[in-house]
Amino acid sequence: MRILHDVEEIDAAKRRVHVRDLKSGKSRWESYGQLLIATGAAPICPDLPGADAVDICGVNTLASGMEIRSRLDKGNIKRAVVVGGGYIGLEMAEALVMNGLEVSLISRPPQVMGTLDEDMGALVSQALRDVGVTLYLDEELTEFETKAGKVTGIVTDKRNLPADIVILGLGVRPNTALAAAAGIPLGEKGSIRVNERMETGTPGIWAAGDCAESFHLISRRPFYVALGTVANRQGRVAGINLGGGYATFPGVTGTAVTKICHVEVARTGLQEQEIAALGLEHVSAVIKSRTRAGYYPGSGDITVKLLAERGSGRLLGGQIVGMEGSAKRIDTVATALQAGFTVEEMINLDLGYAPPFSPVWDPVVTAARAVAKKL
Amino acid sequence: MRILHDVEEIDAAKRRVHVRDLKSGKSRWESYGQLLIATGAAPICPDLPGADAVDICGVNTLASGMEIRSRLDKGNIKRAVVVGGGYIGLEMAEALVMNGLEVSLISRPPQVMGTLDEDMGALVSQALRDVGVTLYLDEELTEFETKAGKVTGIVTDKRNLPADIVILGLGVRPNTALAAAAGIPLGEKGSIRVNERMETGTPGIWAAGDCAESFHLISRRPFYVALGTVANRQGRVAGINLGGGYATFPGVTGTAVTKICHVEVARTGLQEQEIAALGLEHVSAVIKSRTRAGYYPGSGDITVKLLAERGSGRLLGGQIVGMEGSAKRIDTVATALQAGFTVEEMINLDLGYAPPFSPVWDPVVTAARAVAKKL
């Protein structure tokens, strides 16, 4: 096996790739038996005036993280604007607040965490405000203000905000120009279409990670998600198959977790708008419970929302916002989704109980009961 | 609905119960349409010399806990002996150590936490020793030493140990004398046999909680377990059916969690000796991982053992011992058990990952991979 960093062209018909050696500047053709494309994804940068100024930072590599760190360490950075209310935006807002900066977050959608339903997203917005982040929701970034090549602020459709540093958390796009140029079929959001063994539509060429398409087990549709867990699992399957073994990647349920200081956030499955887009109908319930027995030290609030198909009661998704011990409870929901359980079946899940860990009825089961009552 | 505390006899043929009024001393017959037996369980007390001395305490009610608390508060209690290495014994040993007592624990089996396999139980023994509990394993209690009616020590088949207080954690037996006398069929370990709707073998009589039998979903055999979660779920089902509704309690996978100071312990499904007793064969793996991303503050050790059926790979059980964030991971295993998943199917569970919560591959999935490799 060889790892090639600077492939400029894939010639699938002749099973060879054109590689440029960055040291010597020379290029050559290399032949392959099996080729794995693992070109990942790149952060989305807005094509706006001033976007090339210093102190406008995307966060997608270790190097970009270190760069931000070193700028903060200089000490002359007081005001930060985070653009985007997804995982990266939220986690950077948290990190900047913890570093003592004055932080504003701009989101074009009317809520942060667009992968949550509006009611659950509102809890996350509140958590951000509670730690001191100023939110500007439903606002569109229109321009970067700069002075001598350095950013001094941003402009939205509603206001001007001064800024010493701007962090972009606008999501990623799969890096698939190389694959597309070679005629390899693309799928969801421009990612490389693969079968369950991670083989592309072109014989001998495989793809895995943030450049590759996935499959959503609950919507039963092709799906694109750029997450480390998915990339790792796809890579394992591609590697086994490339090496002559046999493995399949059935797909994902869309699980993700994050935190904003003490507030943990988790989601899996389909959210309301995804369910509606599939033409399905759902019943949902939101319950408030505790992370531990109510009388146990350290017990905190937890809110769980579960969504089930109308009529059948088949679990379609779940969202959790709460204090320490909340987020990983989504694993129970994800496993139940993968099992195709109904909310009725979830009522009798034999989950672990002891006062330091849970109320007698785990909040996930309490939510399942609440949904089942509405069916 | 009426709640009767002092039923002395059940006359199932005439659908009536004989009740003694403890205030007046008078007794009477009361008729019933539907009767629920919820007599719970009582702690096992050894029939040994000196067992009726003061400062020998079982722990099964709020009152017994408060009694121990008030004895400790007197301040003249320095040395405690805990008899029994199950949940109650371990949790009491922890509580006593945290209260500054010198604590010894006696266990007749050669390991604490008999619901874990020997290798995982050894980790729990180590955790107890680490917090300062002295363990005497494979030792049988033979006598209580007393002076003027108060306990002064215990005697085992190997040694004498002085003690100012002795805590008994020898498990419980279902309180079913009343039911047995009425001819209601009993099952596992003397618990009341019930169907999936929690109805006993006698028409119009139901049972739920620590007095009632359960069903083990993995061994597919009747099963007795005295845990709050099971009692709660059984009570819900019995209540719905008693009230003319319809609900079933399919059974349990045998999940339980506990902790000894910072070490969390969890188990579900079948352990090695249960699998062997069923005539089944298994493959298992024990993996060491981290509770969070290795580089994330607060990341701790976690050890996961999974057991699967030889050949089919069907998950049979799981055990977890580790630092904060370990125990509730058993819920994923319990849900996978309830789903009938193979360890191969568990490899692609879409569990939540972010550095504060998990390595990219959740330890449960890492364990599933390790077992799958051995199939």
Q: Which helix (H) or strand (E) holds B353?
A: none
Distances, alpha carbon A230 to alpha carbons A209, B173, B349, in Å? 7, 48, 10
Chain A positions in Cβ-Cβ contact with residue B330 (cut-off 8 Å): 352
Contact predicate B120/B303, CB 8 Å: yes
- Calculate mean pLDDT across residues B239-258: 96
* Helix and strand numbers, DSSP H then E, in chain A: 9, 22
Contact predicate A107/A135, CB 8 Å: yes
Fold annotation for A256-374: FAD/NAD(P)-binding domain (3.50.50)
Contact predicate B331/B266, CB 8 Å: no
Q: How many CA within 13 A on the CB side of residue B360?
A: 10
Instruction: Look up tokens 């008030």; give the residue.
Output: B70
Say if the Cβ atoms of A338 and B349 lie within 8 Å. yes
pLDDT band (50, 70, 90) for residue B25: confident
Contact predicate A128/A90, CB 8 Å: yes
Contact predicate B131/B97, CB 8 Å: yes
A372 phi and psi, to 5 degrees? Answer: -60, -35
Which pLDDT does position A274 carry in this prediction?
Answer: 98
pLDDT band (50, 70, 90) for residue A24: confident
Q: Residue A164's closest CA among A101, A251, A229?
A: A101
Taking 90 as the threshold, does the pLDDT of residue B23 lie above it?
no
Q: Residue A13's closest CA among A242, A204, A211?
A: A204
Taking 90 as the threshold, does the pLDDT of residue B164 lie above it?
yes
Strand partners, B106: B83, B136
Percent residues over pLDDT 90 in chain B: 91
Taking 90 as the threshold, does the pLDDT of residue A244 lie above it?
yes
Domain limits, CATH 3.50.50.60, in chain B: 43-172, 176-252, 256-374
Count CB pairs under 8 A between chains A and B.
146
Sheet holding A134-137, edge to edge: A56-58, A165-168, A79-83, A102-107, A134-137
What's the CATH number of domain A176-252, 3.50.50.60, 1.10.150.120, 3.40.50.300, 3.30.70.360?
A: 3.50.50.60
How many other C-beta atoms can be found within 10 angstroms of the C-beta atom of residue A66? 10
Question: B280-289: per-residue pLDDT in tens?
Answer: 999 999 999 9
Nearest to B351 among A249, A334, A360 (CB): A334
Alpha-carbon distance of B236 to A362, in angstroms, equals 15
What's the CATH number of domain B43-172, 3.30.70.20, 3.50.50.60, 3.40.50.970, 3.30.420.10?
A: 3.50.50.60
Which pLDDT does position A1 carry in this prediction?
Answer: 83
Strand partners, B306: B285, B318
Contact predicate B319/B367, CB 8 Å: no
- Calculate mean pLDDT across residues B13-35: 93
Alpha-carbon distance of A119 to B180, in angstroms, equals 53
pLDDT band (50, 70, 90) for residue A58: confident
Optimal mutation site among A263, A335, A347, interface B, most CBs of chain B within 10 A? A335
Alpha-carbon distance of A8 to B225, in angstroms, equals 64
**Longest CA span, chain B:** 70
Q: Sign of torsion, CA A289 A293 A295 A296?
A: negative
| Cα dihedral B356→B357→B361→B367 (10° resolution) | 140
Residue of chain A whose Cα is closest to the Cα of B258:
A354
Distances, alpha carbon A152 to alpha carbons A50, A146, A259, A327, in Å? 10, 5, 29, 37
Say if the Cβ atoms of B350 and A334 lie within 8 Å. yes
A122 phi and psi, to 5 degrees? Answer: -65, -35
Amino acid symbol at A179: A
Which pLDDT does position B361 carry in this prediction?
Answer: 96
How many other C-beta atoms can be found within 10 angstroms of the C-beta atom of residue A10? 22
Instruction: Look up tokens 């339980």; give the residue.
Output: B256
Taking 90 as the threshold, does the pLDDT of residue A313 lie above it?
yes
With b meaning 16 or more CB within 10 Å and e meaning fewer, what string describes B106-126? bbbeebbbbbbbeebbebbbe
pLDDT band (50, 70, 90) for residue A61: confident
Q: Residue B77's closest CA among B21, B8, B150, B137?
A: B150
If you write DSSP's letter for every residue of A237-262 in order, what string do you get? HHHHHHTT-------B---EEEEETT
Residues found in chain B: 375
Lowest mean pLDDT among A90-99, A307-316, B27-36, B60-69: B60-69
Say if the Cβ atoms of A259 and B362 lie within 8 Å. no
According to DSSP, residue A185 is labeled P
Task: Extract the tokens encoding A87.
Answer: 């995982």
Contact predicate B351/B318, CB 8 Å: no
Contact predicate B8/B18, CB 8 Å: yes
Taking 90 as the threshold, does the pLDDT of residue A191 lie above it?
yes
What is this model's ipTM?
0.95
A88 phi and psi, to 5 degrees? Answer: -65, -45
Average pLDDT, chain A: 95
Distances, alpha carbon B307 to alpha carbons B228, B311, B335, in Å? 26, 12, 15
Question: A207-233: per-residue pLDDT in tens?
Answer: 999 999 999 999 999 999 999 999 999
Which pLDDT does position B21 carry in this prediction?
Answer: 85
Say if the Cβ atoms of B352 and A328 lie within 8 Å. yes
Burial of B296 (0-12, 13-18, 19+ CB in 10 A): middle
Lowest mean pLDDT among A19-28, A79-88, A135-144: A19-28
Contact predicate A212/A20, CB 8 Å: no
- Calculate mean pLDDT across residues A262-274: 97
Strand partners, B151: B146
Distance from CA of B258 to the nearest CA of A (A): 6
Alpha-carbon distance of B76 to B285, in angstroms, equals 47
Q: Sign of torsion, CA A135 A300 A334 B360?
A: positive
Residue B61 neighbours by CB under 8 Å, 6+ apart: none
Alpha-carbon distance of A315 to A368, in angstroms, equals 9
Taking 90 as the threshold, does the pLDDT of residue A138 lie above it?
yes
Alpha-carbon distance of B365 to B367, in angstroms, equals 5
Distance from CA of A18 to the nearest CA of B (A): 33
Continuous H helices in chain A = 62-73, 87-98, 118-130, 177-181, 228-242, 272-277, 330-339, 343-347, 363-374
Residue of chain B whose Cα is closest to the Cα of A292:
B328
Alpha-carbon distance of A177 to B74, in angstroms, equals 77
Nearest to A335 among B325, B335, B347 (CB): B335
Average pLDDT, chain B: 95
- Calculate mean pLDDT across residues A146-151: 94
Alpha-carbon distance of B95 to B98, in angstroms, equals 5
Nearest to B232 among A257, A360, A364 (CB): A360
In three-state secondary structure terms, A119 is helix
Task: Extract the tokens encoding A357.
Answer: 């860990």
Nearest to A360 among B229, B330, B331 (CB): B229
Question: B53-84: per-residue pLDDT in tens?
Answer: 888 888 888 899 999 999 999 878 999 999 99
Task: Extract the tokens encoding A183.
Answer: 């005629």
Instruction: Look up tokens 């312990």; give the residue.
Output: B265
Q: Is A45 left (phi over 0), alpha (psi -120 to 50) or beta?
A: beta
pLDDT band (50, 70, 90) for residue B318: very high
Q: Which helix (H) or strand (E) holds A166?
A: strand A165-168
- Calculate mean pLDDT across residues B218-229: 96
Chain B positions in Cβ-Cβ contact with residue A113 (cut-off 8 Å): none
- Calculate mean pLDDT across residues B174-203: 97
Residues found in chain A: 375
- Calculate mean pLDDT across residues A242-249: 95
Give the pairing of strands A221-223 and A214-216: antiparallel
Nearest to A350 among B264, B334, B341 (CB): B334
